[in-house]
Amino acid sequence: MAGRFLGKALATVSLSVALASVAVRSTGCPAYRNSFSSYWIHLNCNIMSGSKCIKGNSHSKARTSPYPGSKVERSQVPNEKVGWLVEWQDYNPVEYTAVSVLAGPMWADPQISETNFSPKFNEKDGHVERKSKNGLYEIQNGRPRNPAGRTGLVGRGLLGRWGPNHAADPIITRWKKNNSGNKITHPVSGKHILQFVAIKRKDCGEWAIPGGMVDPGEKISAALKREFGEEALNSLQKSSAEKIEIEKQLHRLFSQDHLVIYKGYVDDPRNTDNAWVETEAVNYHDETGEIMDSITLEAGDDAGKVKWVDISDKLKLYASHSQFIKLVAEKRDAHWSEESEAGCHGS
């Protein structure tokens, strides 16, 4: 249980841009096919969503200091030196792995230097998935190398696994309705307003998607359902009878058709040169609202509060979670912004 608790704290993740394995020619964006880090720094279009653009550098949170939960300062990495293909002989990253990881909990790998530890990178290693959703990653001096580039810090930081640390982010939505049960339309955009279930994190007090790390051997679909139950319904604290009822409700919700919003590398502040977060964000939409009307939201585990939140560009969420939510709004043709989004396509 401790592994799940810390795992969820690690996994609230932010959105990245394109998958290296996705063809980019149809978008009109430059096709930097020789280096994933080239994609990461120069590609500004969200390929998977087919959406407009995500502004700003998409490998920035992985270079912020101090490192989360510590006073450790990363070595500064300028934008032009992020890519591994850029020669930088004086690169001198800080070494840091949190004490909680070095303690050897079940959810964490041993140190690379331990003689009895021989991880099978880029493949399924027993129950541990070491394959990346972005394709093959390089191994240098026995350590996996972050496919998005330099972060100014080596080791694992707060992350348990060397290489990819896989997470799942369930985005539960419904239409906002008035007292008569009719969908509410935004007066400016003319589009219906979508709502999603958000939790308030205990560690930083910010609102976020109720996500978490995938347990070894666990399917993504199971992780999505488990995380939502634990954080948004407080399932861990329920009686046996209550858990059975919650499981029925969750099965009804999560057995519906769903949209995979994003899967791949994410620009997370916990990332290092040798360990990084990858996620699969999936939208489960309750079109009529009947399913979620029968479910009582109750914050649990590492969530301090839980509530329905109206989706718009005014959202201030943890990390880059608002970008996940933006993709959902676009997919559902729901309200997002009062301003025109024209002129952000690649040329």
- pLDDT tens digits, one per residue of 261-285: 999 898 888 999 999 999 999 999 9
| 203 — pLDDT class (breaks 50, 70, 90) | confident
Residue 43 confidence (pLDDT) above 80: no
What pTM does this model have? Answer: 0.79
* Nearest alpha carbon to residue 285 among 304, 265, 316, 261: 261
Other Cβ atoms closer than 10 A to 86: 16
The two structure tokens encoding residue 169: 């982010």
How far apart CA 56 and CA 53 sit, in angstroms, is 9
Domain positions in the chain: 61-341
Place of tokens 């909990």: 105
- pLDDT tens digits, one per residue of 214-252: 999 898 889 999 989 888 888 888 899 988 988 988 998
What is the average per-residue pLDDT within 275-304? 88
163, 138 Cβ separation under 8 angstroms: no
- pLDDT tens digits, one per residue of 110-140: 999 999 999 999 999 999 999 999 999 999 9
Other Cβ atoms closer than 10 A to 25: 9
Among the four given CATH numbers 3.30.420.10, 3.90.79.10, 3.40.50.1370, 3.30.2130.10, the one describing domain 61-341: 3.90.79.10
The pLDDT of residue 260 is: 94
